[in-house]
Amino acid sequence: MTGRNFLVTAEASIHRIVQEEMRQQQFAGASVRILHKGVPVLCGNYGYADREAGKVVQDDTIFRLYSLSKPIAAVAAYIQLERGLLDLEAPVARYLPAFSKMQVYTDKGLVPAKRPILVRELLSMTSGLVYPDPDPVGAYMQEVFTRSGTRYRDGNPMSTAEVVDAIAEKPLAFQPGEQWRYGTSTDVMGRIIEVTAGMSLGEFYRNEIFEPLGMKDTGFYVPKEKTDRLAQLYSMEAHEDGSQRLVIEKERTMGLTDCLSLPAYESAGAGLLSTMSDYAKFAVMLLGNTQRNGTGILGRKTLDLMLRPQLTQEQDKTIYFEHLKGYSYGNFMRFYKEPNEAASSGSPGEFGWDGWTGPYMAVNREDDFILLFMTQRCGYCNPAFIRKLRNIAYAIL
């Protein structure tokens, strides 16, 4: 650490930018944590977890992670790889036969895939599997989640296996390996973990990751005795006069439920809930210092293999998210690559991910540094805010 003055300045600066986001009705509350050498050096909780109930954000507030679930799925996959139960070069169909005959969407219609999707292409999001995006191939995938929602409302929810089999019926956006596209690859990987482990994804996570790390408040639903700590889910409502305000969001996306009971569909890509304190334990594990956190989870060489980008130069060119400028991708995470393009402090090799409702993680093994941010608003993505937060946090080092 370079000195206490930097820490004091960072605390004041983070307070200022978070308060400004709340003033603009971007979110109702947030939590920030910075760790250096595994030790929290800055912890800040701001605003409300549930504004209407008057509940403030605390260290044990439970947040929906959405896509910040994905790094946990990557660790689970590499546990299976380390045990010889998963091969990165194997066809997905070896584990899930429904993926043996995939089709690819083209402007001229559907054509057969030239080769199978490989496991490593799930992890790098180069499989061609998509989310229900607003384009023709995304419309095919929308049918899966519309069906899932209907079944849930009718009291006959689709299981994880049923959802993934339905995903296999839909066309790919391109031939496997040709491009990068964010999609349902993580959910397919979650089902592979179930098949290779012989248990549900939730059981595997609990036995192999959450209990060893002491992540007592992380899972696919919130038990009744903990519901008072669940953050309210908000969305942004726009008005005709151009103003906007936060309102409680009642709908759920991607086949997810209200998170208050064990779901039939355990989404590896978006289904987990956790606290700032719990997720910090997971992030510290990714630093790879087994003496510090008391448990290995993954071997040193396995972490070295997992914590590196997977894309080729040509695949890198197809990344289309604005907030991934200057980054590459691999194992369901971004990897800091080009400082000038990223326009924020960092080091090559830093990795992490974020979620649809705003949670964010950055882990830097070289500097033994972690930045975590939690909030809870549907569709929250403000690259400028994240750049500011990163630049403030890195100034502490």
Per-residue pLDDT tens for 320-345?
999 999 999 999 999 999 999 999 99
Q: In the sheet that 333-336 helps form, which strands lie side by side, from edge to edge?
A: 55-56, 39-50, 29-36, 369-374, 360-364, 351-354, 333-336, 327-330
- 3-state SS, residue 172: strand
Of 304, 366, 332, the C-alpha closest to 82 is 304
Of 164, 66, 78, 177, the C-alpha closest to 122 is 177
Taking the domain 4-76+224-394, which CATH number applies? Answer: 3.40.710.10
Largest CA distance in the chain: 63
Identify the pLDDT of residue 240. Answer: 81
Q: Answer whether 0.85 is exceeded by the pTM.
A: yes
Identify the pLDDT of residue 290. Answer: 63
Identify the pLDDT of residue 296. Answer: 81
Domain boundaries along the sequence of the chain: 4-76+224-394, 94-202
Of 387, 385, 369, the C-alpha closest to 377 is 385
> In the structure encoding, which two tokens stand for residue 164, read together?
């993934």
Instruction: Please tell me the distance from the alpha carbon of residue 337 to that of residue 58, in angstroms, as a whole number.
Output: 33
Give the gyration radius of the chain's Cα atoms: 20
Listed in order, strand segments (DSSP E) in the chain are 29-36, 39-50, 55-56, 62-64, 103-106, 109-112, 234-238, 244-248, 273-275, 327-330, 333-336, 351-354, 360-364, 369-374
- 3-state SS, residue 101: coil
CA torsion sign for 317, 322, 328, 329 is negative
Which residues of the chain are under the pLDDT cut of 50?
1-3
Identify the pLDDT of residue 294. Answer: 55
Please give the mean pLDDT across all residues of the chain: 95
Instruction: Please tell me the distance from the alpha carbon of residue 263 to that of residue 121, in angstroms, as a whole number.
Output: 27
Q: DSSP readout, 250-319?
A: ----TT---SSS--SS--TTT--EEEHHHHHHHHHHHHT-HHHHS--SS-HHHHHHHSS----HHHHTT-
Half-sphere exposure of 73 (CA within 13 A, CB side): 35
Per-residue pLDDT tens for 253-291?
777 888 999 999 999 999 999 999 999 999 999 999 766
Identify the pLDDT of residue 1. Answer: 45
Burial 366-379 (b: 16+ CB within 10 A, else e): ebbbbbbbbbbbbe
Instruction: Please tell me the distance from the alpha carbon of residue 147 to that of residue 130, in angstroms, as a whole number.
Output: 16
Asked if residues 309 and 328 have their Cβ atoms less than 8 Å apart, the reply is yes
The residue length of the chain stands at 397
Asked if residues 236 and 377 have their Cβ atoms less than 8 Å apart, the reply is yes
- 3-state SS, residue 56: strand
